[in-house]
Amino acid sequence: MAKPTGFMEFERELPADLPPQERILHWKEFHKPFAEEKLRTQGARCMDCGIPFCHTGKLLNGMAAGCPIHNLIPEWNDLVYRGMWQPALERLLKTNNFPEFTGRVCPAPCEGSCTEGLNNEPVTIKNIELAIIEKGFAEGWITPEPPAVRTGKTVAIVGSGPSGLACADLLNRAGHSVTVFERADRIGGLLIYGIPNMKLDKQVVQRRIDLMAAEGVNFVTKTEVGKDLPAEKLLRDFDAVVLCGGATKPRDLPAEGRELKGIHFAMEFLTANTRNLLGSSLLDAEAATISARGKDVIVIGGGDTGTDCVGTSLRHGCRSLNQFEILDRPPTSRQPDNPWPEWPKVLKTDYGQEEAIAVFGDDPRTFLIQTKRLVGDENGQVKEIHTVQVEWVRENGRMIPREVPGSEKVWPAQLVLLAMGFLGPEDQLLGQLGVERDPRSNVKAEFGQFATSVPGVFSAGDMRRGQSLVVWAIHEGRGAAREVDRYLMGKTDLHG
């Protein structure tokens, strides 16, 4: 282990952030640099547990516990403590294709399962991971490594999000010729258009894309398979196909007045914002500006996407901001029914809420609230939301929300953003291929096998498992690559 008494000697410490009032003036990442000596001290807190849970990657009570890609966390913590950064990088890249992504946007289930977190604060695993990969790039240790031999086999990957990129990366390393198809104008999927710049700078994504291209991966943009390119053509032209298109069908709001102008799905808002920042080359309706400037904004949904809508609206200069969540406020500490090493289901004040508090003086979130209807003006533009408070009660064995009498309220709103999650993948491509779907409408492909009902067609990521974390998408992409390699070659040396 790094230092036998390190967990007793040192407290958890993270790099400081720019003050909220300062960082909302720009779209840059806002975490300040952290001294190398402090990173080594944080690495010293790792106990190198005899039975570590940080890298188990299990689902406990439906929540991720530990790292899904099984990062060798205690090993590289120890190496960082000893100042051995290059070996630490080698250990990290054995399991994680893109630490620069997970080190920025992953909610760190590894830290939720850290043994140190039983009685103290967990090790700063995510921050150390990011420091390792960024040092690797800064020192020039990461260079293109194209495969020495090509197999002659061809693979098409549909979708360039984290699962598609992870799959492409491993299959290319195995020597297969890989082509990634993306319908947007840039490669990266949700890494580009689903996650705002202040959380993940797009130059970071492009740096990795450029590296993969230099290693031989072929990227094709502005091509929607199933629309611009018939799906059956992929089956004819490639030896294997991997579907990594994500779960992009958003959950809608079943409320009166939904048809009013000024009501948008969160991804419409976030995508339009990023396209404007990047200077999109797509001249279509999606690239149009959706601005929160000077408006009363309501965000419906309390997850990460809702937080990103909050942070983006603040940077636009909204007049007021409220965020609705139909569930109850989480507790401030672990409850008896949520023991370690499960993911801690506790109240989290993320960057967006922190910024809203700094600007408006109050937490923007209202819990146990439900939208009754939306009301518009004479031009069909939304002007207010009518809500009611709810309480959760058990009825016929199920928990359902019940309205609280007398709790109605009217909120001004000229922009309403729906961030209530996703229902599954879109239908057109899957219908053309004729792949079997599961009861949740996702592609039916057994976990660990990733093969669909159509021979030679595989699926991974949110398109197969439903909406999930970036780190799970990477895990699935790696697993699918392993099984595609086995399918093409009869055996595999890849480790998903």
Q: Give how far the C-alpha of residue 457 lies from the chain's centroid of Cα atoms, to the nearest Å.
A: 25
Angstrom distance (rounded) from CA 364 to CA 199: 20
Q: Print pLDDT tens along the chain (496 aa).
A: 668 888 889 999 999 999 999 999 999 999 999 999 999 999 999 999 888 899 888 888 877 789 999 999 999 999 999 999 999 999 999 999 999 999 999 999 999 999 999 889 999 999 999 999 999 999 999 999 999 999 999 999 999 999 999 999 999 999 999 999 999 999 999 999 999 999 999 999 999 999 999 999 999 999 999 999 999 999 999 999 999 999 999 999 999 999 999 999 999 999 999 998 988 554 444 445 799 999 999 999 999 999 999 999 999 999 999 999 999 999 999 999 999 999 999 999 999 999 999 999 999 999 999 999 999 999 999 999 999 999 999 999 899 999 999 999 999 999 999 999 999 999 999 999 999 999 999 999 999 999 999 999 999 999 999 999 999 999 999 999 999 999 999 999 998 7
Whether the ω angle into residue 74 lies within 30 degrees of 0, i.e. cis, is: no
User: What is the Rg, in whole angstroms, of the alpha carbon atoms belonging to the chain?
Assistant: 23
CA separation, residue 493 to residues 51, 157, 215, 479, 481 (Å): 27, 20, 19, 12, 11
d(CA 92, CA 285): 41
Give the global pTM: 0.95
Listing DSSP states for 116-169 in one string gives GGGTSPPP-HHHHHHHHHHHHHHTT-------SS--S-EEEEE--SHHHHHHHH
Q: Which domains does the chain have, with CATH numbers?
A: 6-138 (1.10.1060.10), 154-248+423-489 (3.50.50.60), 252-420 (3.50.50.60)
Which residue bears the tokens 């990460």? Answer: 304
User: By the 8 A CB rule, do 417 and 297 touch?
Assistant: yes
Question: How far is the C-alpha of 277 from the C-alpha of 203, rounded, in Å?
Answer: 12
Residue 235 CB coordination number (10 Å): 18
145/143 Cα distance (integer angstroms): 6
